[in-house]
Amino acid sequence: MNAGVTNLAMTLVLMQVSRKIPFEDPEILRYVRIAYVVVQTLILSAYFYTSMTIKQKNDQTVLKYVEPATPMSGEQGKLVTTTVRDYDLAEVSKLLRGVYMGIAFIAFMHLYLGYTQPLFMQSAMGLKNLFEAKPVQVHIFGKKAEGDLKRPFKAASIFGVQAGPQTDAAAIQEAEKRIGAKQE
């Protein structure tokens, strides 16, 4: 099933479950806080371990793709030439940034605004996102980098259309021609 659809379904289910939890009870609130901290520590540890594994493998295979331009900008895609190692490290860096932003947002909502449901929901969603992260699947779970896990990773949308970098030879050649024309 599509990641966007499962996120939506899981959010709806978790909202219903969280309504049944008595967060007013200090004992239960303490356990939810502990669970949140443990889950976030586990997620961060897994991402750091993934980046360590990527650095150990040191895959220097060249990876070329055309990164799509931002919508409505009128620009054309940008040619990116990198290595598998650098690409995977950049992807893990994006995942880590997402976790840090999530922690900051949940901390604001819980400590400043007093909401407790997001602690519970983010614990479950964080684990789900960890197991669905493509670099984790490739480097920790040992899945082959083919199909959905082929680099560069494509982002799936709720509508089932996969958007992402172009890897076909024609798009790469056309981007190289544009770069050559600019340099002359």
CA distance 14 to 28: 16
Strand pairing partners for 155?
Answer: 163
* C-beta atoms surrounding 122 within 10 Å: 22
pLDDT of 57? 94
pLDDT of 28? 92
pLDDT of 184? 45
pLDDT of 81? 86
pTM: 0.83
Q: Counting Cβ atoms within 10 Å, is residue 167 exposed (0-12), middle (13-18) or buried (19+)?
A: middle
Contact 96, 120 (CB under 8 A): no
DSSP H or E run through 18? helix 3-20
In one-letter notation, the amino acid at residue 183 is Q
Tens-level pLDDT at each residue, the chain (184 residues): 677 788 888 889 988 998 898 989 999 999 999 999 999 999 999 999 999 999 999 889 888 888 877 776 667 777 888 899 999 999 999 999 999 999 999 999 999 998 888 899 999 999 999 999 999 999 999 899 888 888 888 776 655 555 667 666 676 777 667 666 554 4
Residues contacting residue 29 through CB under 8 Å, at least 6 positions apart: 23, 116
Closest-CA residue to 135 (of 70, 50, 10)? 50
CA distance 139 to 144: 9
Q: DSSP 3-state assignment of 2?
A: coil
Give the start-to-end residue ranges of the domains of the chain: 3-182
CA distance 7 to 132: 11
